[in-house]
Every structure is written in C-alpha cells, then in structure tokens.
Homo-oligomer: A and B are copies of this chain.
Amino acid sequence: MAFLLSSGADSVGLLLNILLVFGAAKLLAEVAEILGQPGVVGELLAGVLIGPSVLGWVAPNELLNVFSELGVMFLLFQVGMGLKDFKLTQVGWDAVLIAVSGVIVPFIMGRQIMLMLGHPGVEAAFVGAAMVATSVGITAKVLADMGLLSVRSSKLILAAAIIDDVLGLLVLAVVSSTAKGPLNYLDLGLTAVLAIGFTLVVAIFGTRAFEKIVPRFDSATKTAKSQFILSMLLLFGLSILASRAGVAAIIGAFLAGMALASSVSHETKSETAGVTELLVPFFLVGIGMRMDLTVFRDPGTLTMCGLILAAAILSKLIGCGIGAWRLGYRGALRVGTGMVPRGEVGMVVAQIGAGMGVIPNDVFAVVVFMSIATTMIAPVMLKMAYRGAVAE
C-alpha cells in the first residue's frame, strides 16, 4: 500500500504528462513509419501538435526539461555503445575538414543575411553562431533506426559533429565575449585546450581501459547487474566531466558509450536501451513543443525565416559537402545532410543571446524556428540521401 502516488493530485498529473508525451510520440512515430517517413519526424510533430502552438495539452515544464536532457544523453550514450569498432582517431583529418568548413560557411552565410536585412553586427554574429551548431542526436537516431551507423559516411558525421561541438563552443565564446567587451585570448585558449584534451584522452584510451576494467569489476562485485551499474556511473561521471571541461555533457555521454561498446554484455545493452527508449521521446517532443507558429504572421519576419532556413540547410550541405568531397557526390551529400539538424543547440545559442539582451524577440523566434525546422527536414532528407545504402 502506498498513498504516495494516490493522494497527491500532482503525482497523477505527472503520470498523465508522461503518458501523454510518450503515447503521442509513439503514435505519430508509427504514423510516420506507415507513410514511409522516419519515426523521428513523427515524434517531433507530436511535440508541435500537443504543445502550446496547436492543441496546448502540454507546455514545457521543468520535469519535461529534465527528462529531455537525460533523453538526449542516453541517446548519444546508446549511439556510442552501438559503435563497436569505431575509432575516433581513424576518421581523423577528414572529420576535422568537414567540421571546419561546416562551421565557417554557415557562420558567414547567416551573418551576411542578417547584415543584408539591416540588423546590427552583434545580432548578426549571434545568428551566425546559432547556425554553426549541429544536433547530432537526431541524425544518429535516424541512422541507427536504419541500421546504417557503421557506414563510413555515418562515422564521419559522428566524428565531425563532435569536433563541431568544440568549434561551435569556441565560436559562441568569441561571439558572446565580443558582445560584452574586448576578447580574452588566454581564457579562450584554455577552454580550447581543455575541451580538445578531454575528448582526445577519453576517445583514445577509453575503450582499451574498459576492456580491462569491465571483466574485473564483474568478478570483484557481489551486487547483481554490476555491468549496468558501472555503465551508469561512467555515463553520469563522464557527462559531468565533459561539462566541466567545457564540452557538452552529451559528448561525455557519447564517449562513455564508445568506451563500453566492446566490453559490456548484450544484456547490459538491452537494459540501457530500455532507459533510452523511455526517455528519447521527451527529447524529441520537447523540441517540437517549442515551435512557435505565430512567427508566420508578420511578413517581414516570415521573409527572414525563409532566408535563414534556406541558408541553414544550404550552408551545411555546401560547407560539409566541400569537406567531404573525397567521398564522391553521394557521400558528400550524405555527410552534408547529416549535419543539417540544429535541434536544441541552435535554440540554446539564441537563448544566450536573448539573455544578454542583444537578440530581439523576432530574431529569437526565427532562430528557434530554424533550429526546429532543420531538425524536422533533415530526417526526411537523410532517408533520401541514404537510399540504397547497405550496412558495411
């Protein structure tokens, strides 16, 4: 007997919220699949549908935010776990090239459009910075659902997205520093070294270390499910360390998954997959929920919206495509498409700008729209770009 959940109306409200978000996401994912579209698109649309913009059944709240953050962490963790023979250092220079040109082109295009439209320089720089971001979670989920994570272009996308994270961080640091005053080069250099150092150390030594640690931990402990426990400790530990080192927590989660990929059992992977499966809809619905359709009412904003969205898609296709020219036309197209979604990342850059008071409301709405629209278009484009691809 427990009155804990039966007495408080709050508790029932909480459960209803969870059921509604999870149920709507999975229902629309099913509809999307029936129509030949990626399930991810359905889950994003579920967020638009039940969110404040259309039905208003659920609004963003703190609990959904927490579930959403944990959801994208587990998503990247699971993606990392699925990469058994992936070495970040092997795809090396190609990935660096893709990331660098995929940062420069979108930043310049976004900034120029805003300047052309007559917006001040700081504002234009922030929009450019928001267009640099790549939300690798969406692409990873689509490719994982298609069973194509082990294809060379998929591995390149993942590696480039990680480097992109570090570069994007530096771009944001520069943009927000110049908005405040003169640039502190020492701070900037320190951030870069720490972020790159952390990523490289874990990527290079992680897998080898855990191939030794996991069997020993297993035989030394008396508690059941010790591999699962170790996995969770590593996941949360590395996510925290990544945040502290200046990279995103999800990069830590991805590296944790990669480090464990070749050492934990199938059972443990199923157990973590359950958590992932439960939480990911909150991440996707959470993005869709933030879509603000009223942006379309003002013709000026609508124009800005169209230009920025087109530039967001084209700039990544061109920028990353140039970086990936060695893969041939189709390979370059795949890599470019995979880097299109901006997801929650573009929104956060906009949020920082708005918080500093340098981004007005309409520009904020446009950046959020761009972030979500690229996220919803990319899976459809990816499915076309990867048509005919076979797991290697």
Is A86 engaged at the interface, CB distance under 8 Å to the other chain? no
Among the listed B69, B133, B225, B352, which residue makes an inter-chain contact with A11, where contact means beta carbons less than 8 Å apart? B69
Q: List the B side residues contacting A15 at CB < 8 Å.
A: 236, 239-240, 243, 249
Q: How far is the CB of A191 from chain B (nearest CB, A)?
A: 11
User: Does A228 lie within 8 Å of B271, measured CB to CB?
Assistant: no
Q: How far is the CB of A9 from chain B (nearest CB, A)?
A: 9
- Bound complex: CA of A34 vs CA of B220, how far in Å? 11
User: Does A29 lie within 8 Å of B223, measured CB to CB?
Assistant: yes
Is A221 engaged at the interface, CB distance under 8 Å to the other chain? yes
Is A123 engaged at the interface, CB distance under 8 Å to the other chain? no
User: Does B19 lie within 8 Å of A240, measured CB to CB?
Assistant: yes
Interface of A is mostly: helix
Binds B, one of A207-215, A272-280, A297-305, A373-381: A272-280
- A274-291 contacts to B (CB < 8 Å): 274-275, 277-278
Q: List the B side residues contacting A26 at CB < 8 Å.
A: 223, 229, 233
User: Does A6 lie within 8 Å of B249, measured CB to CB?
Assistant: yes
User: Does A4 lie within 8 Å of B244, measured CB to CB?
Assistant: no
Is A134 engaged at the interface, CB distance under 8 Å to the other chain? yes
- Bound complex: CA of A270 vs CA of B227, how far in Å? 13
Binds B, one of A165-173, A177-185, A316-324, A383-391: A165-173
Is A136 engaged at the interface, CB distance under 8 Å to the other chain? yes
Is A363 engaged at the interface, CB distance under 8 Å to the other chain? no
Among the listed B5, B62, B272, which residue makes an inter-chain contact with A69, where contact means beta carbons less than 8 Å apart? B5
- A16-72 contacts to B (CB < 8 Å): 16, 18-19, 22-23, 26, 29-30, 33-34, 39, 62-63, 66, 69, 72
- Bound complex: CA of A272 vs CA of B18, how far in Å? 16
Is A1 engaged at the interface, CB distance under 8 Å to the other chain? yes
User: Does B224 lie within 8 Å of A145, measured CB to CB?
Assistant: yes
Is A161 engaged at the interface, CB distance under 8 Å to the other chain? yes
Is A101 engaged at the interface, CB distance under 8 Å to the other chain? no
Is A149 engaged at the interface, CB distance under 8 Å to the other chain? no
- Bound complex: CA of A15 vs CA of B62, how far in Å? 15
Among the listed B5, B19, B66, B169, which residue makes an inter-chain contact with A14, where contact means beta carbons less than 8 Å apart? B66
User: Does B249 lie within 8 Å of A345, measured CB to CB?
Assistant: no
User: Looking at chain A, what size class is its interface with the partner chain?
Assistant: 35 or more
Q: List the B side residues contacting A258 at CB < 8 Å.
A: none
* Closest residue of B by beta carbon distance from A13: B240
* Closest residue of B by beta carbon distance from A67: B66
* Closest residue of B by beta carbon distance from A195: B6
Q: List the B side residues contacting A233 at CB < 8 Å.
A: 19, 22-23, 26
User: Does A2 lie within 8 Å of B224, measured CB to CB?
Assistant: no
- The 7 tightest CB contacts between A and B, nearest first, are A271-B274, A5-B249, A1-B165, A270-B270, A274-B274, A33-B222, A19-B236
A residues in contact (CB < 8 Å) with B? 1-7, 11-12, 14-16, 18-19, 22-23, 26, 29-30, 33-34, 39, 62-63, 66, 69, 72-73, 132-137, 145, 161, 164-166, 168-169, 172, 221-225, 228-229, 232-233, 236-237, 239-240, 242-244, 246-251, 267, 270-275, 277-278, 343-345, 348-349, 352
Sample 18 A-B pairs with CB under 8 A, ordered by A number: A1-B135, A2-B133, A3-B248, A3-B345, A4-B344, A4-B348, A6-B243, A6-B247, A12-B249, A14-B66, A19-B236, A19-B240, A30-B221, A30-B222, A33-B223, A145-B224, A228-B274, A271-B274
